[in-house]
Amino acid sequence: MSAAHAFLQRLGERADDEPTWVAARRQAGAARFEALGFPTKRDEAWKYTDVRRIAEGEFTLADDAELDEARFAALGMPLDAHRLVFVDGVFSAALSDLTDLPDGVSIEPLTTAMRTNHEAIGGAIGRLAGVDFSPFTALNVALSEEGAVVRIGPGVVVDKPIYVVFASRANESARMSHPRVLVMAGARSQSTVVEHYAGEAGAANFTNVVSEVMLERGAIVDHYKLQEASSEDLHVASIHVEQGRDSRFTSFNLNLGGALVRTDLVTDLNAQGAETNYNGLFFVQGRQHVDNHTLVNHNAPNTFSNENYKGILNDRARGVFNGKVVVKRDSQQIEAYQNNANLLLSDRAEIDTKPELEIYADDVKCSHGATTGQLDEDAVFALRTRGIDEQMARGLLTLAFAGEVMDQVRLPGIAERVERAVAGKLPERFNLSDLVEVSDALEEA
C-alpha cells in the first residue's frame, strides 16, 4: 500500500473537524483517486514518465514549519515582494511578509481564507482543476491541507510581485505536501505572481501542487513558476487558467531541479481579445526527468496564443514536451503559435517532443514546430579563437540558446538566477552582459 493510499484510508478520522462540504470534497477526491490509481506508462499522457518512485515512496505529512532565516535565505530570492512562505507544505508566519498590502489586495494562507471567506473561496477552488483532470489532482483534492489565496480587486495595480515560496527541507524521513494556489484577478487589474519551489540539498520530498488562476475582463497576470527542487525531490504540478475578455496571461515555467518533475499547464481562452503567452525553459542534467504538458483551448473567436519552450539536457537526463492547441468550432480569426527547441549537451541525453494542433475552424493562423540539436562546434571554435576557453564558450552559447525565453523575463532577480544555473559559474572577468560581445564575435566569424 502506498503512503497516499494509507492517508486516504484515514480521511474519515478527521471529518468531524471540518465543515461538511470540505469533508465531502475530500471524499470525492479520494474516491476518484482510488478508481484511477497512479498513472502508468500505459496511459497515453504518461507514457514517457514513470511515477513508481512516487507510488512506492514512503512519505509523511509535516507538522511544523521550522526553518531558520539563514537556511531560508539560502533557498529564497531577495525580491522586494509581498511574501508568503510554506515549509514542507506548512505555513510559516515567521518567514512571510505581508505588510503594506495595497487596498483591494488580499494574500493569505488557504486555511485562513477558508475560515474567513469560505463562501467566495470554496466555490472557486476546484472549479478549474477538479478530481477528473488527473489522478494527482484528485489526490490533491483529497489531501490538500494548505496553500495560498490571492485576490486582486478590480482596477488594482500591484506594483510588487506576489512571492509564494514552497521550501523543501532535508528531513530524516521524506515528506509529502499537496498545496493549493488560487489567484483571482479582478477586471482591469495587473499583478505578478511568483511560485518558487526550492529544496535543500538532500531533500527527498514529494510535492503535488494545483494552481488555479482566474482572470476577469481586461486583467493582466504575469505568472512565474521557478522550480529549483533538490536532485532527489519529486514534483508534480497542475496549473489551470481561465481568461475573460481582453485579458492577458503570461506564463514563465522555469525548471532547474528535481529528480522527477511533471507540469501540466492548461489555459481556456473563453472570450474575445483574450491572450496567453507560454514561455518555458528546462535545464536538466544527471538522471533528472522533466515532463511538460501544455494545452491551450481557443474557446472563443479573436483570441491569441503564443508558446515557446526550450529544453537543455546534459548527461543522461530526459525531457518530455507535449504541447497541444485546440481551436474550437466557430472560434474564427484566432492566432496560435507554438515552438519547442531542444539542445542536447550529451549523446546520452534524450528528449521526446510532440507539438499538436487540433483545429475545427477555418479562418485561423496557426503554426507549430519542434527542433533538437547540439552546440555548433564552429561557433565554439570562433569563440576560442578570441581567447575564450572552451568551458566558457560552451556555457555562453548554451545561455544564448536560452536567451529567447529569458529575454522575456521581467524580474531581474529571476533572470540572473536562471542564467547562472544554465551557463554555470562564469569566471569573474565575465558578466552576463558579455553575451552582446559574444554575439558580435559570432557575426564576424
Last residue of a domain, one of 243, 271, 299: 271
Same domain for 262 and 381, yes or no, is no
Q: How many domains are contained in the chain? A: 2
For 320-371, the pLDDT digits (tens) are: 999 999 999 999 999 999 999 999 999 999 999 999 999 999 999 999 999 9
- Answer yes or no: is 90 within a domain: yes
Query: In a 10 Å sphere around its CB, with 0-12 CB exposed, 13-18 middle and 19+ buried, how is residue 345 labelled?
Result: middle
Whether the pLDDT of residue 51 is over 70: the answer is yes
Instruction: Give the pLDDT score at 429.
Output: 47
Instruction: Give the pLDDT score at 265.
Output: 98
- Answer yes or no: is 77 within a domain: yes
Same domain for 173 and 30, yes or no, is yes
Whether the pLDDT of residue 395 is over 50: the answer is yes
In angstroms, the CA 253 to CA 227 distance is 8
Instruction: Give the pLDDT score at 118.
Output: 82
Q: What is the average pLDDT score of the chain?
A: 91
- Answer yes or no: is 324 within a domain: no
Same domain for 383 and 267, yes or no, is no
Phi, psi of 249 (to 5 degrees): -120, 130
Same domain for 262 and 385, yes or no, is no
Whether the pLDDT of residue 7 is over 70: the answer is no
Whether the pLDDT of residue 430 is over 60: the answer is no
Last residue of a domain, one of 271, 289, 307: 271
- The per-residue b/e assignment along 272-295, b for 16 or more CB within 10 angstroms, e otherwise, is ebbbbbbbbbbbbbeebbbbbbbb
Amino acid code (one letter) for 360: Y
Tell me the residue range of the domain where 409 lies: 376-445
Whether the pLDDT of residue 74 is over 70: the answer is yes
Instruction: Give the pLDDT score at 19.
Output: 79
- Please, which pLDDT band fits residue 298 given cuts at 50, 70 and 90? very high
Whether the pLDDT of residue 250 is over 60: the answer is yes
Whether the pLDDT of residue 187 is over 90: the answer is yes
Percentage of the chain lying above the pLDDT 90 cut: 80
Whether the pLDDT of residue 8 is over 80: the answer is no
Percentage of the chain lying above the pLDDT 70 cut: 91
Overall average pLDDT of the 36-51 stretch: 96
- Please, which pLDDT band fits residue 190 given cuts at 50, 70 and 90? very high
- Answer yes or no: is 320 within a domain: no
- Please, which pLDDT band fits residue 21 given cuts at 50, 70 and 90? confident
Q: Which residues have C-beta within 8 Å of that of residue 387, sequence separation ≥ 6?
A: none
CB 332 within 8 A of CB 361: yes
- Answer yes or no: is 326 within a domain: no
Whether the pLDDT of residue 425 is over 70: the answer is no
Instruction: Give the pLDDT score at 119.
Output: 81
- Answer yes or no: is 347 within a domain: no
Whether the pLDDT of residue 445 is over 70: the answer is no
Instruction: Give the pLDDT score at 428.
Output: 47
- Answer yes or no: is 197 within a domain: yes
Whether the pLDDT of residue 439 is over 70: the answer is no
Instruction: Give the pLDDT score at 302.
Output: 98
The three-state DSSP-derived secondary structure of 212-234 is EEEECCCCEEEEEEEEECCCCCE
Whether the pLDDT of residue 149 is over 60: the answer is yes
Model pTM score: 0.93
Whether the pLDDT of residue 444 is over 80: the answer is no
- Please, which pLDDT band fits residue 426 given cuts at 50, 70 and 90? very low
Instruction: Give the pLDDT score at 43.
Output: 95
Whether the pLDDT of residue 237 is over 70: the answer is yes
CB 349 within 8 A of CB 357: no
> How open is the CA angle 17-22-23, to the nearest 5 degrees?
65
In angstroms, the CA 373 to CA 396 distance is 16
Last residue of a domain, one of 221, 254, 271: 271
With the CA atoms of 414, 418, 424 and 430 taken in that order, what torsion angle do they form, in degrees rounded to the nearest 10?
-50
Overall average pLDDT of the 74-87 stretch: 96
Among left, alpha and beta (phi > 0; psi -120 to 50; other), residue 199 is beta
Instruction: Give the pLDDT score at 10.
Output: 57
Same domain for 258 and 394, yes or no, is no
- Answer yes or no: is 295 within a domain: no
